[in-house]
Amino acid sequence: MKTVPFSYDKLKKIISEFPTPFYIYDEKAIRENVRDLMKAFSWNGGYHQYFAVKSTPNPSILKIFKEEGCGVDCTSLTELILADLCGFSKEEIMFTSNVTPSNEYVLAKNLGAIINLDDTTHIDFLNNCAGIPEIICCRLNLGEDIKYQDKVVINFRSSKFGSTQDQIYDGFGYLQELGVNRFGIHTQFGAHKRDADYFGNNSRKVFRFVIDLYNNTGIKVDFINLAGGLGIPFLPDDSPANIEAISYSIKKAYDETIVAAGLDPISLFTELGIYMTGPYGYFVSSVLHVKKTYKNFLGLDASTNSFMSPARYNDYYHITVMGNENEACNCVYDVTGALCEDRDRFAVNRLLPYTKEGNILVFHDAGAYTYSHSYNFNGKLRPAELLLCTDGSVKMIRRAETPEDYFATLKF
């Protein structure tokens, strides 16, 4: 059973001050989740979590992670600027980019961020535009299929990300000649998975590569960045990831490889995004119209331009009809917005309680990759973002867009 961190009466008070639609994030739950993660990985003395800025790029959210001792994972110039403005500096910033322009490398170098090279052929490009830092990371493409339950999750040979093992051998040797004395390896094998063995088995592959790297080049890495991909339970009957079991599985792989090879200690990093904020964000919208033709439609005061994941990825997001939580779900609806596009649907053939105009719908698990994927098709405007603070108060952390915002970049 999915619940919300506010009562129906509390939500109506919030809406009286901040009209729907809006996103609202649960600060207390986010902080508690960070602390549980840190505790689970405390066995690794150098463990560090870099929150994926792209998942929820709001300064108020980033400052929560800053206060809880996390760093940030940035992918672009604007994300680097945002990190800098929020007080992150030097090795608190991981710059994991691809097809990177020179001005982004320059800013990352000036901020002292850890630069994670997606392509070892960028070494000369980086050196020419910004100079080579003393610490650097390279992204590994394992060159194989990552499977889960006999299904291919990641086909590395068709992925645009990372460099081959041989390219990293050569690249690290060249970087060492250019003055690098601290190295890291990064790889992404997660894909919204929650199974402990999945992370243990695939971490073992990375750890074995690090051993091979040392045996072939004599270079021992300072850190291994296991990136993100730790998923959340979207369906009501799904079980959440057991972070302690996942950490234990990774530790077992670490002990059987890195420790056994005499390379301990090596710091472990993660770049988790949806796991950190996804379950603790909610999208709130009101029913504007009810339409009955060949189907029953709930037309909201929001469109999927503000919350495009259900339409683009066909993801399931659980819906609570506030005030009707205990009523039987015996009515079938398509939940839609107002875009001139028939795919503009938050849910299709969804069983909900009887719902009428004015009812308030809350979409669960909307705390990551939701607002950041929003767009302005049809001239539709992005909604506000709110923070449910630990003391129970609510504050706006991003106002809703206005028509003036929409026209601001036009030269007319």
* Catalytic positions, written as ranges: 340
User: Torsion-angle region of residue 317: left (phi > 0), alpha (psi -120 to 50) or beta?
Assistant: beta
Q: Closest Cα partner for 280 from 383, 195, 390? A: 390
Tokens of 359: 């009812």
Helix axes 77-85, 59-67, angle to 10 degrees: 60
Structure-token match 């506030």, residue found: 322
Query: Residue 392 has what DSSP assignment?
Result: S
Tokens of 208: 């074995």
How far apart CA 173 and CA 184 sit, in angstroms, is 13
Tokens of 156: 């590395």
Q: Mind spelling out the 3-state secondary structure of 2-15?
A: CCCCCCHHHHHHHH
CB 258 within 8 A of CB 210: yes
- Is residue 205 classed exposed, middle or buried when 0-12, 13-18 and 19+ CB atoms within 10 A define those classes? middle
How far apart CA 307 and CA 409 sit, in angstroms, is 23
Query: What are the phi and psi torsion angles at 309 (to 5°)?
Result: -60, -45
* Angle at the Cα of 404 from the Cα atoms of 411 and 337, rounded to 5 degrees: 115
Query: What residues are paired with 23 via a beta bridge?
Result: 283, 385
Q: How far is CA 153 from CA 53, 97, 127, 138, 289, in A?
A: 24, 22, 35, 22, 40
How far apart CA 76 and CA 99 sit, in angstroms, is 10
Strand 114-117 and strand 93-96: the pairing is parallel
